[in-house]
Homo-oligomer: A and B are copies of this chain.
């Protein structure tokens, strides 16, 4: 029965349980016909048309992504992130005007991901070509994120480019009481004058 199969598809998506999947399947059933058709088309098109940007490896349906193609973006700074989602997160701040480089993963011996599986070569090639002055390491503050940042910093050193990383500290609106020891220590050691 197609309804059961549709619910199974929803259930396989991350963060959706059996009951939600069922509710979503019934919702699709009650959608206007053209919207359901567009939904189905988007699933197929997203897979067919989306590929990596030739420059920064972010996802796009153009040869170059919007950010790489934008002449107003500062090409002297590259922010290195793990995933395309991270690019969206930085773009939401509206405060970053440089470019990006998406690694599509982190070095993780546990998961069998070595440096050669990430888009590091492509990043190194961009440094002289685009006259990059600074590379900001914006990988997640996890073991893998740290290891990848360190590894990359070593590769970048001989190229004479400045390498920085995001500040660690208390999240804005967060509560000191609930901050873990490591975060608190990092916030303390990274303190600045006011």
Contacts and interface: CB of A to CB of B under 8 A. Distances in A.
A2 B60 CA distance: 9
Nearest to A12: B35
A12 B60 CA distance: 23
A45 B2 CA distance: 6
Interface string A75-89: 000000001110010
A65 to B, nearest CB: 10
Interface in A39-60: 39-47, 49-50, 59-60
Given A20-B15, A24-B14, A6 B40 contact: no
A1 B43 contact: no
A13 interface: yes
A17 to B, nearest CB: 11
Given A1-B61, A60-B1, A28 B14 contact: no
A5 B44 contact: no
Interface string A11-30: 01111100010111111110
A87 to B, nearest CB: 11
A62 B138 CA distance: 54
B3 A59 contact: yes
Contacts of A41: 40
Interface string A108-126: 0000000000000000000
Given A2-B46, A5-B42, 12 more contacts: A1-B60, A2-B42, A3-B50, A12-B35, A14-B23, A15-B20, A15-B23, A22-B88, A29-B46, A29-B59, A40-B44, A43-B43
Shortest 5 CB-CB contacts between residues of A and residues of B: A40-B40, A2-B45, A6-B42, A40-B43, A9-B39
